[in-house]
Amino acid sequence: MERVVDLDQAAAVIDERVARWLEAGLTVGRTTWRDEAAPWPPQLETDRELVRDPDSVGVRVSGPADTELGVVLFRGGWADVEFIADLDDAGTLPAFGIDSAAAFGARLDQWVLRVFG
């Protein structure tokens, strides 16, 4: 997979936002990593040191009334984004063309605002 986004920088972008999310009353799961070099089926790791060749980094954020946002960014420049804002507003959000950690941070802020207000 082409390396468009530095996933360590993207993880730092997530880490920069955790305190703000916690202050807003959200719950933040541990950052997860997937290793391209790991045997199939790949396992998600929460310890970056165990991942030699990361191809994705993810985080799950939960809020009141069962709101939830799950984001997995792939080094190729796209993300899998799933959310539940309420019973009538759930699904996936488009997430492609992410060409840097800064661009990921901007999109992450938009997704959090979309789901948690």
What residue spans define the domains of the chain? 17-116
Answer yes or no: are the C-beta atoms of 96 and 107 closer than 8 Å: no
**Which residue(s) pair with 86 in the sheet?**
89
Overall average pLDDT of the 25-54 stretch = 95
Overall average pLDDT of the 44-57 stretch = 97
What pTM was estimated for this model as a whole?
A: 0.95
Q: How many other C-beta atoms can be found within 10 angstroms of the C-beta atom of residue 94?
A: 9
Distance (Å, whole) CA 27 – CA 76: 28
Return mean pLDDT, the chain.
96
pLDDT digits (tens, 9 = 90+) for 70-107: 999 999 999 999 999 999 999 999 999 999 999 999 99
**Which stretches of the chain are assigned E, i.e. beta strand?**
27-28, 32-35, 44-45, 54-62, 68-74, 78-86, 89-92
